[in-house]
């Protein structure tokens, strides 16, 4: 499979994912999906009963890519592949997505304090009937955080739209004692797996 235009649609609002695509020279157009519960979400991102964290993140990434392709057809856009991604923080078997507010963010950070957790980041590429997936797993260890540090960090607003309530590329990076795996995966888009996926589709990357 080969694409002359060498462009993808990014089915995500995340500025971090845009930055990472630009970093390695991937041409893309943003394809927005609804994420406002008041207007009706395009994808239900709640964890299903009995669903493993791995199954959850791959399901959401695949759903974003597939729904993005449906939107390409509906809007009669140029038929380029759609990239979907999902990132979640996992600790004690609990999937920590984006916090629901400041109290929830403080709860998440207190749970991560002084411990190791896992960050799962899935990427999916959809073109016509073909959908391919890749999954990245990274272990992150936090230093112990004081209640005051947690409150000050949450007050900056940075954690409120981040999985696990922290941004490793922002102020939250000061909490990270060590990382084993993909830094870009913790940011929200594992570049190694994404490039592998795009090359599988015939893209010339790098």
By annotation, the residues acting in catalysis are 86
Which residues on adjacent β-strands are paired with residue 180?
139
**Burial of 146 per CB tally in 10 Å (0-12, 13-18, 19+):** exposed
Q: Which two tokens stand for residue 122?
A: 């899935």
Which residues on adjacent β-strands are paired with residue 132?
125
- Spatial neighbors of 93 by CB under 8 A, at least 6 apart, are 53
116-127 and 82-91 beta bridge pairing: antiparallel
Q: Torsion-angle region of residue 155: left (phi > 0), alpha (psi -120 to 50) or beta?
A: alpha
Kindly report the backbone phi and psi dihedral angles of residue 31, in degrees, each rounded to the nearest multiple of 5, phi listed first. -120, 105
């Amino acid at each position: 499979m080969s694409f002359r235009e060498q462009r993808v649609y990014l089915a995500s609002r995340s500025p971090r994912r845009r930055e990472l695509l630009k970093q390695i020279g991937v041409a893309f157009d943003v394809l927005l999906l609804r994420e406002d519960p008041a207007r009706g979400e395009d994808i239900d991102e709640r964890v299903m009963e009995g669903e493993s964290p791995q199954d959850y993140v791959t399901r959401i990434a695949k759903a974003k890519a597939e729904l993005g392709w449906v939107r390409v057809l509906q809007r009669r856009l140029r038929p380029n592949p759609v990239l979907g991604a999902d990132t979640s923080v996992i600790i004690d078997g609990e999937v920590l997505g984006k916090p629901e507010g400041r109290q929830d963010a403080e709860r998440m950070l207190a749970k991560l304090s002084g411990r190791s957790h896992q960050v799962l980041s899935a990427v999916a590429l959809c073109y016509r009937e073909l959908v391919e997936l890749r999954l990245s797993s990274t272990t992150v260890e936090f230093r112990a955080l004081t209640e005051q540090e947690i409150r000050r960090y949450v007050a900056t607003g940075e954690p409120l739209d981040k999985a696990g309530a922290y941004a490793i590329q922002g102020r939250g990076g000061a909490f990270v004692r060590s990382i084993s795996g993909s830094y870009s995966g913790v940011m929200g888009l594992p570049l190694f797996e994404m490039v592998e996926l795009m090359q599988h589709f015939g893209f010339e990357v790098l």
